[in-house]
Amino acid sequence: MKKTYEIYVDCANCAQKMEDTANKVEGVAKATVSFMTQKMKVEFAEGADAPAVMEEVLKACQKVEPDCEIKL
Amino acid sequence: MTKRQKNTLMRIIVSAVLLIGVIVLEKTTAWPAWTYRVLVLVPYFIIGHDVLRKALLGIKNRQVFDENFLMATATVGAMILGETTEGVAVMLFYQIGELLQQLAVGRSRRSISALMDIRPDYANIEQEDGTLEQVDPDDVETGTVIVVQPGERIPIDGVVVEGNSSLNTAALTGESLPREVMPGDDVISGCVNNNGLLKVRTTKPFEESTVSRILDLVENSSMKKAKAENFIAKFARVYTPAVCGSALALAVIPPVVLGLAGQGWNFGTWVFRALTFLVISCPCALVVSIPLSFFGGIGGASRNGILVKGSNYLEALADASVVVFDKTGTLTKGVFEVTEITPAEGITSAELLECAALAESYSTHPVAKSLRQAAEKQLDQSRVGAVEEIAGHGVKAEVDGHEILAGNARLMDRFGVRYIPNEAAGTIVYAARDGQFLGSVTINDVLKEDTVDALRQMKACGIRRTVMLTGDAEQAAAAVAGQTGVDEYHSGLLPADKVAWIEKMLQEKTDKEVLCFVGDGINDAPVLSRADVGIAMGALGSDAAIEAADIVLMDDDIAKIPKAVMIARKCLRIVRENVVFAIGIKLICLVLSAFGYANMWWAVFADVGVMVLAVLNATRTLAMK
C-alpha cells in the first residue's frame, strides 16, 4: 500500500534526513521525501498498520528534525 | 510569506536594530567592556535562539553535524574569543540567507504549481429547473451529463452530446491551435472550452480521467531522484563529518606544532580560523539547488507538453545518443490511404476491397481504417463472425461463413496460400478466401510534415545514431527510411523482434550513451520499457503507453523530441554549473581561511551568498522554452 502525506520541512538537507529516518521505521517498505513538493510518499510493508506506522515515522522524524511536520 | 517567515523577518529587523544600537553605544560611551558584551547577547538570542535550540537537540539526538551545529559552534566560539559583534553579525546574515533561500524556493515552487494548475475545481450538473449546480468532480458518476460553459475547464473525460466549440488544449499538449469538437467527439479533461456551451456525458470517473492521471504523474516525478541528487545526499553525509574533523585539526595541530617550535601557543587565532572554516563548509547550496533545478526542468518540459516521469529520466535524456523510432504513427502520420488495388484473376476490385475491409472491420490498426475508408459503402459488421488477430501477420475472420485472411505475405505463407507477390512500395495487404488468393491492396502512409526537420535537429544536437524499426515490409520501410534520412532501418519485425533489436543496440553502445525508443504506444509497451528511456507519443488517452513510458509526449509532434533533449541538456548544464560553482568557491574560501586570509565575513558569503546564487541559477530552468 502506498500513501502520500503533506509535510512541512524547511531545508533540503533536512528533507533528506527525514527520508533516511522514515526508511528505518519498522513497517515502512520505502519512503521518499520530495522537498520541492513538500510531500512524503510512503510504501508500507505487507500487513503494516499505516496510521500506527506513521505515528512512529513522525516521532522519529521530529527527533532528527525538530521543526518538521507531517499531516497525518 | 508564511507566518514563520514573517516571524523570522521581524526577528532579523529587531536584532539588526539592537546590534547597531549596541555598536553605537560602544563608540559613544565609556562603560566597562563587559557591559557591551552582555548587551550584545540580547540581539544574539533574538536572532539565534532557534539555531541554538536545534543544535542542542541535535546533540541530544545524536544528529550532530548539521548546519545548526556549525552555526552555533562558530558564533559561540567567536563570542568566547572576544569577537562578540562579529558573532552576532554572522548569525544575523545566516538567518537573512536562510530566509532569502526559502523565499526563492517557495516562489519557484509556486510558479511550477501554477504551471501545472489544471485541476478542475467543480463540475456543473444541470438541474430539472434548468439551473446549474456545481459539484465536486469526484462525486460525478460515470455516464452523468455535465455542462461545460465557455471559459471553463472540462473536469472529466467524456463524449460531447450537445453543442459545438473549440477547445484550448495548450495546458495539456503545449499546442496552441484550438481543437474543434462537435457531438460524438471524445473530449479530454484539462482542456479549456473556448466559446460554445458543451454538454458532455462522462465516460470515466474523475480519478481515472486524463487530468488526474497527469497530475499524479507530475506530482510524483520529483520522487524518482536523479543520480546527481543521490550523489549529493551521499556527498553531504561524508562531507560534513570530514569538514568538522579538518576544523578540529586546524584548531589543534598548527598551534601545538608552532608552540613546540617555540613560536608561541597561539590557540585563539587558530580556533578562530577553524570556526571560519566551519561556517564556509555548510553544504546547503548544493543540497537545495540540485533538486530545484531538476524540478524546474521537469516543470519547463511539461509546459511544452513533455511529461517527464522522474529527474532520473531527464538526466538520462541529456545523454541521449541513439534514438530508435517506430515507423507508423511516429515518423509517419499513421494515416493510410489505399493507393492501388491489384485483384487476382476473376475477382473485381470492389469484391477484394470489401472482403479485406470486412475482415479488418473490428481492428483499430490504421491499415484497417484505410481499408474501410476505401470500401466507401457502409459495411455490415453482422456479416463478420469469429475474428482472430495474429500479431505481426494480420487477421483471420469468418465473413458470410467463408474464412477470410487479410494481412502480409507471412500470413499467406503461414496458411499455405499461393499468392502473387506485390513489389510496390508501401504496405501490402494480401487477401484470401477459403485458401484461395483474392489479390493485394497497396496502402501508403505519409510522413509527418516536421519529421525530416526533427531528425536533422536531432543530428545537430549530437544524436549519433537514428534507427527505424517497423513491422512493415522491406519496400515500404525503405521508402520511408529514404525520405526521412534515418541512419538505418530494420523491417518486417514482430513485436518480439523489436525487443531483440533494442537488446542488441543496448549492447553495442557504450555505458555512457543512452538509448531512447520513441513509439506511439500501440503494441510498443515491451520496447518502451526495455529502452533506457521510453518515449510515448500522442499518449492522450492511451493508458498502456502512459504506464510503460518514461517520458510522455502529450501530442504526436515529433519535433518535441529534440526539444526535450535540449531542455534536459540545459537543465543538466545548470546542475553542473551549480556543483562546480558551489564546491569551487567553498574550496577556495576554505583554503583562504586555513591560512588566515578569510575572515567571518568571507565565510558568510561563501555559505549564504553561494547558496542564494545557486538557487537563483537553478530557477533559470523554469524559464526554458
B168-216 per-position pLDDT tens digit: 877 676 666 778 888 988 888 888 888 888 999 999 888 888 777 777 7
Which chain A positions have a beta carbon within 8 Å of B284's beta carbon? Answer: 11-13
B54: nearest CA partner in chain A: A66
For residues B233 and A17, give the distance between their C-alpha atoms in angstroms, rounded to a whole number.
9
Q: In a mutagenesis test of the B interface, which of A5, A9, A13 is the best target, namely the one with the most B β-carbons within 10 Å? A: A13
Give B323's pLDDT tier (boundaries 50, 70, 90).
very high
Q: Is the pTM of this model over 0.90?
A: no
Q: Which residues pair with B126 in a beta bridge?
A: B132
Q: What is the pLDDT of residues B24-40, one digit of tens each?
A: 988 888 888 888 888 88
The alpha carbon of residue B69 is apart from the nearest alpha carbon of chain A, in Å, by 13
ipTM value for the complex: 0.74
Those residues with Cβ within 8 angstroms of residue B31's Cβ, 6 or more apart along the chain or in another chain? B25
Sole residue written with cell 617555540: B262
Torsion of CA B373, B379, B384, B390, to 10 degrees: 0
Domain ranges of chain B: 333-446
Gap from B273 CA to chain A (nearest CA, Å): 25
Nearest-angstrom CA–CA distance, B218 and B113: 10
Range of the domain at A26: 2-70
**Which CATH number goes with the domain that contains A47?**
3.30.70.100
Amino acid B541: pLDDT? 52
d(CA B519, CA B501): 15
Cβ contact, residue pair B220, A67, below 8 Å: no
Q: A37 burial class (0-12, 13-18, 19+ CB within 10 angstroms)?
A: buried
For residue B357, the SS3 value is helix
For the segment B148-173, the average pLDDT, to the nearest whole number, is: 85
Highest-scoring range by mean pLDDT, B225-234, B365-374, B432-441: B432-441
Angle between helix B366-375 and helix B349-359 axes, rounded to 10 deg: 140
Joined together, the cell numbers standing for residue B284 give 546547503
Say yes or no for a CB contact (<8 Å) between A37 and B287: no
Mean predicted confidence (pLDDT) in B1-11: 85
B102 at the A interface (CB within 8 A)?
A: yes
B57-66, B508-517, B523-532: range with highest mean pLDDT: B508-517
- List Cα–Cα distances, B125 to B166, B189, B192, B371, in angstroms: 21, 16, 17, 41
**What is the average pLDDT across B509-538?**
84
Give me the percent of chain B exceeding a pLDDT of 70: 93
Cβ proximity of B438 and B323 under 8 Å: no
Decide if B67 and A13 are in contact by the 8 Å CB cutoff: yes
- Which pLDDT score is estimated for B140? 86
Q: For every one of its 72 residues, what pLDDT tens digit does chain A have, with 9 covering 90 and above?
A: 778 888 888 777 778 888 888 999 999 998 888 877 788 888 898 888 888 999 999 998 888 877 788 887
pLDDT in tens, B106-140: 777 776 666 666 677 788 888 888 788 888 888 88
Active-site residues of B: which are they? 326
Start-to-end CA distance of chain A, whole Å, equals: 16
Assess B109–A contact: CB distance below 8 Å, yes or no. Answer: yes
Distances (CA, A) of B322 to B327, B486, B515: 16, 11, 5
CA angle B67, B72, B78 (to 5 degrees): 125
With 0-12 / 13-18 / 19 or more C-beta atoms within 10 angstroms meaning exposed / middle / buried, residue B535 is buried
Q: Please give the radius of gyration of chain A, using alpha carbons only, rounded to the nearest integer.
A: 11
Give the CATH fold of the B333-446 domain.
Calcium-transporting ATPase, cytoplasmic domain N (3.40.1110)
More confident residue, B218 or B68: B68
Distance, CA of B298 to CA of B307 (rounded, Å): 7
Q: What pLDDT is attached to residue B587?
A: 85
Q: Give yes or no for a contact between B319 and B514, defined as CB atoms under 8 angstroms apart.
A: yes
Strands B186-187 and B320-326: unpaired
Q: Which three cell numbers stand for residue A5?
A: 502525506
- Chain A residue with minimum CA distance to B293: A36
Lowest mean pLDDT among B9-18, B62-71, B271-280, B562-571: B62-71
CB contacts, 8 Å: A4 with chain B: 219
For chain B, the C-alpha Rg in angstroms (whole number) is 34
> Cα(B304)–Cα(B535) distance, rounded to whole angstroms?
15
More confident residue, B549 or B514: B514
Domain count, chain A: 1
Q: How far apart are CA B136 and CA B547, in angstroms?
A: 27
